[in-house]
Amino acid sequence: MLSKDSPVPPETVFIWSHPRALSTALLRSLAELPDAVTVLEPFMVPWQVDMGVYRGCESRQPNYKEVIDNLVTGHYLSSATSMSPRKPPIQIVKDMPCHGGMALLEQVTAAFPKAKHVLLVRHPFTTIPSYLKVSVGYSDEIMREDISYRGLLNYAEHLSNKQQQEKQTQEAFLLMDADSLIRQPEQALWHFCKHIKAEYTPALLHWEANKPPKSWGNLAVFEDWLDNVLGSSGWVQKPGLSKQPTRPAAKDGQPMQSEFIDENMPVYECLLALSAKQEKQ
């Protein structure tokens, strides 16, 4: 918990997702918001170090406390290039529950009690085959923890309980269907902006390819996970995209696909049910 002498943290939004949920594309899109600075998975490196899978080349890696301190003090805001003097900047942080579990969320909510949270989730039938194509060189145990939807459900339940206990009037979180960003990107982004109380702009639909925001830092640690997003230049709308994808067929060389799907489908359905319940309140 911050002391009374601690700096007041900047206005902050946290986007939480599982891998392959279009979260990096969403973050790249949001970098086009005026007065916004985006921060890409700052907790990934401390998690990699703790798990013994760090693949970067930096001689010293930040720990969780140092990352949170950087966010609280506005370290990443120094990379902003188009801040308006009329409005305080906002930092939008994308990360994943698997990079720290409930301990991470408790630290984040203590340091940023007024932050807004967005949970981005995509159907396991789409997510898991995509994940297995790029998760090369990791053990089954690491992949199971990495792709698990359980952390998102834990975060959703915790944020909902916190809202009720503190009698907050604002939504505890916004749960977004990731495919809505493809199906109807303008509508999905407008809804996102409404949740974070930012003004929607059509500039969110397009960006310059191969020009990541300076606030993303050294991307070498992400290896080839970001190639599609970095090479893209905007959302490609597919209004006919089904809301109920077909279960993928089992494939040779991907023995974990069905197992991961079976493990995560019930959790995914719980997330949808929790979101529906929240909408009725």
276 C-beta neighbours (distance < 10 Å), count: 10
Q: Please tell me the distance from the alpha carbon of residue 92 to that of residue 90, in angstroms, as a whole number.
A: 7
Q: How far is CA 176 from CA 21, 108, 137, 189, 212, in A?
A: 10, 20, 30, 10, 24
* 41 Cβ contact list (under 8 Å, min separation 6): 94, 95, 96, 99, 222
What distance in Å separates the CA atoms of residue 222 and residue 48, rounded to the nearest whole number? Answer: 11
List per-residue pLDDT tens for the chain, 281 residues long.
Answer: 444 455 678 899 999 999 999 999 999 999 999 889 999 999 999 998 988 888 777 778 899 999 999 999 999 887 665 555 546 789 999 999 999 999 999 999 999 999 999 999 999 999 999 999 888 778 899 899 999 999 999 999 999 988 888 877 777 799 999 999 999 999 999 999 999 999 999 999 999 999 999 999 888 778 778 989 999 999 999 999 998 999 999 877 788 999 999 999 999 999 998 877 766 66
Give the whole-angstrom CA distance, residue 40 versus residue 23. 10
Q: How many CB atoms lie within 10 A of CB 85?
A: 6
CB atoms within 10 A of CB 212: 20
